[in-house]
Amino acid sequence: MSNEASVHEQSYLGAPHGLASWLLTKDHKRIAILYLISITIFFAVGGTFAAMIRAELVTPQGDLLSSDLYNKVFTLHGVIMIFFFLIPSIPATLGNFLLPIMIGAKDLAFPRINLLSWYIYVIGATVTLAAVFNGGVDTGWTFYTPYSSMSSNTSVTTAALGVFITGFSSILTGFNFIVTLHRMRAPGMTWFRLPLFVWAQYATSLVMILGTPVVAITVLLVAAERALHLGIFDPKIGGDPVLFQHLFWFYSHPAVYIMILPAMGVVSELVAAMSRKQIFGYSFVAFSSLAIAIIGFLVWGHHLFVSSQSIYAGLVFSIITMMVAVPSAVKTFNWTATMYKGAISWESPTFWIFGFMGLFLVGGLTGLFLGAMGLDIHLTDTYFVVAHFHYIMVGGGVMGFLGGLHFWWPKMTGKMYNETAGKIAAMLVFFGFNATFFPQFIVGYMGMPRRYHAYPPEFQFFNVLSSAGAVLLGIGYTMIVIYLIYSLIKGPKAPANPWGATGLEWKIPSPPITHNFSEMPVVTEEAYDYQHAPAPQRGVK
């Protein structure tokens, strides 16, 4: 065996060594780890801003943060959590790591472009951080005109540029995934043998490449309007501020599916593995991902019900919004049917997906409240909306991400974390999350508007409850970081297939070798063949 070959037979973590070998790597697994580290840092930054918001809202008076500072804090919380954590969270980490392995490929189709996407992300993030230190931004993460284009004297242009740059990173990831899926599947890996996580990544990639260019152009137009007074959004010179909302939500509603579809893919994998059953209605789950991706592009106007959007357009948007609930419900029912009479094992990943299902259900159903035109007039810009999208994006997106991280952590790192700690953290996050955001539904319905640092004293009870829940949530997240890092140092070595799961990634060593497979795998069975799956190896020494 030549030296070159033996290097590729080693664990991807081991060879070659050194910082440069990581920063110049073309290995999709190492790039996934780079992304994982970066998004964790940004999650911590965004979380710090969230903590500042919750601390301010403990008392009705605006005493901790001035109103100007508060505007900047919630804006940066949103911008960082959405563009620098949630959008790349599952696709760029778990997707990057798993997608080639799951289809039996050595890498993505364009390894260099994959690395480029990480560098673009880092540059975009740096530019946005520059905006933070250069006085911040106060427009809200939505950058609504005419405030952003005509009035705000904060670093809107810099922040918009950061978002613009980062957009290309997600376009490149989506493009890479699509080409890889079309061209690089192993022999026998037909479209209908693909794991559902891969189908979800495919649908997500479509949204990324079809939607992201629009938001990139839109924020660029805001920057151009500020600098050159083009008259795109400014009504005085022939523009229309509502046009911004159309363009922005054309991407930003589907962007929610960039966050939630991959999480749904994770849940599909985990539900089958943790109940040791063939997934119920494979093709329905696969096609519901595509249906969500496509219908998701037709509903953006439900964010414009109280703008000057035509009521007739609103009516159509409202009806189509109700339709998106159908494929989401298809998935939920199929997961339930998969678990029915399954041998459900209570491992820590199971806790996260149960958390996902409960929270996503509440988030999805309250979305229907908001999609109803009449009710939305009452609820627009209240804490009801804040609670709704946190249930979707954190309760759905982040819970799915953490479930997947706990499920594939042994594969990615070769180490087992402490199961009990994993379960306690999942419970803390679940109850902490509900304590934080459920009161916001109530207080929002009672009329508390979002984005103010002070509020009437009768809302204090709910806000104290919410802030207390946020403390629990913070402890839960911190715990995860601690026991996962601890597992890297002191954790027991992970077996190749700790959960007894099906799928190509569980047939190779943990952690995988640099080229993933020592010989080209040939796929002969359907996905989720749990009747012939190996027994779990967890705890087997």
- Chain positions contacting Cu ion, by CB under 5 A: 253
Instruction: Pick what 326 binds: Cu ion, another protein, none; C-beta below 5 to 8 Å, kind-dependent.
Output: none
Footprint of another protein on this chain (CB under 8 A)? 182, 210, 214, 242-243, 246-247, 250, 297-298, 301, 304, 308-313, 316
Q: Judged by CB, which is closer to Cu ion: 220, or 298?
A: 298
Task: Indicate the burial class of 48 (C-beta count within 10 angstroms; 0-12, 13-18, 19 or more).
Answer: middle
Instruction: Pick what 113 binds: another protein, Cu ion, none; C-beta below 5 to 8 Å, kind-dependent.
Output: none
CB of 145 to Cu ion, least distance (A): 19
Instruction: State the Cα–Cα distance between residues 108 and 512, nearest whole angstrom.
Output: 15
Count CB atoms within 10 A of the CB of residue 91. 26
Q: Judged by CB, which is closer to another protein: 126, or 310?
A: 310
Instruction: Pick what 301 binds: another protein, Cu ion, none; C-beta below 5 to 8 Å, kind-dependent.
Output: another protein
Q: Judged by CB, which is closer to another protein: 18, or 238?
A: 238
Instruction: Pick what 243 binds: another protein, Cu ion, none; C-beta below 5 to 8 Å, kind-dependent.
Output: another protein
Q: Judged by CB, which is closer to another protein: 182, or 378?
A: 182
3-state secondary structure 225-288: HHHHCCCCCCHHHCCCHHHHHHHHHHHHHHHHHHHHHHHHHHHHHHHHHHHCCCCCCHHHHHHH
Q: Judged by CB, which is closer to another protein: 308, or 524?
A: 308
Query: CA-CA distances (angstroms) from residue 225 to 11, 144, 157, 363?
Result: 51, 13, 10, 36
The CA R_g of the chain, rounded to the nearest whole Å, is: 23
Tokens of 81: 């959590």
CB of 312 to another protein, least distance (A): 4
CB of 382 to Cu ion, least distance (A): 16
Could you tell me if 403 and 267 are in contact, meaning their C-beta atoms sit under 8 angstroms apart? yes
Q: Judged by CB, which is closer to another protein: 232, or 357?
A: 232
Cβ-closest position to Cu ion = 253
Instruction: Pick what 253 binds: another protein, Cu ion, none; C-beta below 5 to 8 Å, kind-dependent.
Output: Cu ion
Instruction: Pick what 313 binds: another protein, Cu ion, none; C-beta below 5 to 8 Å, kind-dependent.
Output: another protein
For residue 418, give the amino acid letter.
N
CB of 392 to Cu ion, least distance (A): 9
Tokens of 538: 């967890």
Residue with tokens 């789950």: 285
Q: Judged by CB, which is closer to another protein: 241, or 444?
A: 241
Q: Judged by CB, which is closer to another protein: 182, or 493?
A: 182
Question: Which of the 8 DSSP states describes residue 514?
Answer: T
Instruction: Pick what 261 binds: Cu ion, another protein, none; C-beta below 5 to 8 Å, kind-dependent.
Output: none
Q: Under 8 Å CB-to-CB from 535, ≥6 apart: which residues?
A: 500
CB of 302 to Cu ion, least distance (A): 5
Instruction: Pick what 40 binds: Cu ion, another protein, none; C-beta below 5 to 8 Å, kind-dependent.
Output: none
CB of 246 to another protein, least distance (A): 5
Q: Judged by CB, which is closer to Cu ion: 253, or 331?
A: 253
Q: Give the chain's length.
A: 541
Count CB atoms within 10 A of the CB of residue 496. 16
CB of 303 to another protein, least distance (A): 12
Instruction: State the Cα–Cα distance between residues 193 and 524, nearest whole angstrom.
Output: 9
Instruction: Pick what 298 binds: Cu ion, another protein, none; C-beta below 5 to 8 Å, kind-dependent.
Output: another protein
CB of 371 to another protein, least distance (A): 16
CB of 181 to another protein, least distance (A): 12
Q: List % helix, strand, coil for the chain (3-state, nearest 5).
A: 70, 0, 30
Could you tell me if 435 and 465 are in contact, meaning their C-beta atoms sit under 8 angstroms apart? yes
